[in-house]
Structure 1
């Protein structure tokens, strides 16, 4: 379990992007990168990302693995009306649940599609037993949640709209990040960063070199849910490296 420096539990998340088209390169996924940014801003750490195909057994196996280990598991894709949209069936299998027609969702589908409604579209209302519908203003079709799995579509505009409708459910204590841009290479600072990490275990310290196109050599990030610890670590780093080597901070 992830905890804050004060010992408070931190809810973690994972995301599964589903679709043969993602693995083949026919479609470029943008949902995962966007979701990482959103969860980061909300203070929820995204700990795992999986990109898998449309095979039912792989979908079931993936959710059976991730759901017990994270508080929230997001899915992206595989919830449309075609033969290769098997996400809900895979989630049902992961939890050992039957699929059942959700009459509330079926009614909303009929209302949204009107005369275009057919059995293929209504199959989108076949949900794992016990699934919840999260209805919100501006969503003609609600978000489906199966236990701790939040089921989202693959189409980026609808993916974002549905997540934004429920985003406050995932807000936690934020992570504070400081960035130091240095005129030093990684080699000379590696041991000092390692010593600093031992001194401040509650602060995650990262080092990212750049070789062209920028005015700095290394970006060092320091982050924690404890803002005072971050400031102490920043002061210690400036002292260890020499303030003259810090081009700027952010």
Structure 2
């Protein structure tokens, strides 16, 4: 696990997202959770390092989950904890951790807040099946809980429910130093500055420097974004980027 990773600015906390569901891979459902989780984690000082999407197949889920939880500080899963036969995430997580799974009285109590006893049928009770040793994640939207076991947080695929669960989980997470960023508009095409920008990036190996082309009201343009956990290094790199842009503008205007 990379929980021991450090930077000059402090400890580095990392994460991965595992999206589970045939409907995502087929295109029937468009994922809306990855970007939300990524932004949420960035804002609290957790670096998202990897995203995987796997089908509703136990072996695929188990293999991906075991690989990710061994590599990163946290793994967040979305999808596959509903009432239907293909919602197999909970069983797959139990298999990955080598623990049993059964109906959890705490989860049944949560579901009972929404469904009368005569409506808690076999399908709905599937949502109360929780791996042994897991802690529940409250769900203020539909009451069916997610759960946390080890460094894995299992959440719903429905965006509004996932977001409610993440609000519960977020304050409990260990966080690192937040990534700072600064942006400058180059007023030049990406190809105009590519070579010179690479030289700047080489001079600041601990700083992330990226170029992002876009079409403005005056034609092709580029934003250059500099990211770092160290404010001094961020400032130094951005000053070099700005100097490079001015130099390239002067050269191209001749």
Aligned counterpart, 2:190? 186
Aligned counterpart, 2:241? 237
Aligned counterpart, 1:49? 51
Aligned partner (choices 147, 151, 157) of residue 150 of structure 2: 147
Aligned partner (choices 217, 221, 244) of residue 221 of structure 2: 217
Report if aligned partners of 1:206, 1:222 keep a CA contact under 8 Å in 2.
yes
Aligned counterpart, 1:81? 83
Q: CA deviation at 1:245?
A: 4.7
**157-166 or 82-91, which deviates more:** 157-166
Q: CA separation of 1:89/1:137 partners in 2, compared to 1, >3 Å: closer, same or farther?
A: closer
Q: CA separation of 1:125/1:214 partners in 2, compared to 1, >3 Å: closer, same or farther?
A: farther
Q: CA separation of 1:137/1:56 partners in 2, compared to 1, >3 Å: closer, same or farther?
A: closer
Structure 1 segment 37-116 matched on structure 2, within 5 A: 37-114=39-116, 115-116=118-119
For the residue of structure 1 that corresponds to 2:161, the secondary structure is helix
Alignment deviations for residues 17-61 of structure 1 (CA, whole Å, 9 cap, x no partner): 111111111111111121111112122111111111111111111
- CA distance in 2 between partners of 1:169 and 1:217 (Å): 42
- CA distance in 2 between partners of 1:214 and 1:149 (Å): 48
Aligned counterpart, 2:125? 122
**189-198 or 74-83, which deviates more:** 189-198
- CA distance in 1 between partners of 2:43 and 2:140 (Å): 23
Report if aligned partners of 2:11, 2:177 keep a CA contact under 8 Å in 1.
no
Query: 2:22 aligned with 1:20, yes or no?
Result: yes
- CA distance in 2 between partners of 1:65 and 1:84 (Å): 22
Pairs aligned (count): 245
**210-219 or 144-153, which deviates more:** 210-219
Report if aligned partners of 1:139, 1:162 keep a CA contact under 8 Å in 2.
no
**147-156 or 195-204, which deviates more:** 195-204
Structure 1 segment 191-202 matched on structure 2, within 5 A: 191-202=195-206
Please, what TM-score do these two structures have when normalized by structure 2? 0.87
**68-77 or 89-98, which deviates more:** 89-98
Q: CA deviation at 1:220?
A: 0.8
Q: CA separation of 1:228/1:131 partners in 2, compared to 1, >3 Å: closer, same or farther?
A: same
Q: CA deviation at 1:189?
A: 2.0
**56-65 or 215-224, which deviates more:** 215-224
Report if aligned partners of 1:182, 1:216 keep a CA contact under 8 Å in 2.
no
- CA distance in 2 between partners of 1:120 and 1:40 (Å): 37
Alignment deviations for residues 99-156 of structure 1 (CA, whole Å, 9 cap, x no partner): 1322111222223212311122122222222111244878844441011110111111
**194-203 or 205-214, which deviates more:** 205-214
Aligned counterpart, 2:209? 205
Moved beyond 6 Å, runs of 4+: 136-139
Unmatched 5+ stretches in structure 1: none
Q: CA separation of 1:42/1:26 partners in 2, compared to 1, >3 Å: closer, same or farther?
A: same
Q: CA separation of 1:28/1:136 partners in 2, compared to 1, >3 Å: closer, same or farther?
A: closer
Alignment deviations for residues 177-208 of structure 1 (CA, whole Å, 9 cap, x no partner): 10111122233322322222222222100112
